[in-house]
Structure 1
Amino acid sequence: MDPITQMVVGISMQFIGLLFQPKPEEPKPPSLDDWDEPTSDSSRPIPVVFGTVELKGLNALWWGEKAIKRRDVKIPTEKK
């Protein structure tokens, strides 16, 4: 085959492949189920933790401080 015919066949095969490729699924919109925050529920057991571990989605009643506390500190200066 001559090069022109090969290019036409190649471009047409690319176009046919583009037409028949599977369409990607649309992502679902974000919901409250996407959050991985600890919650308190009376139907789930309360975990007892020893040492340093990572808890995900368990029944946690308190998770530590999530706020920053600002404290003003006076630095003593020397008097001459």
Structure 2
Amino acid sequence: MFSFLVAIGISILLAVVAFMLMPRPKNNVPDMSRDLEIPTAEAGRPIPVVFGEGTIKSPNTLWYGDKDQETVEISA
């Protein structure tokens, strides 16, 4: 019984060491995706208010149409 508990303890210790030595993924965002000006929905993002005429780049929206693709067949 004692050897079983020692084996479990060693396996848990090795799992913790393996987790600590595991390389962390880098969260690199490509430049192109940062420059997109598409509607997004982010919590805590300020809502711009425009008085008069103006263009809002990258508005904060909750829904932006159906993003479906439809196949169109052209007969010659």
TM-score between both structures, scaled by the size of structure 1: 0.36
Q: Whose Rg is larger?
A: 1
TM-score by structure 2 length?
Answer: 0.38
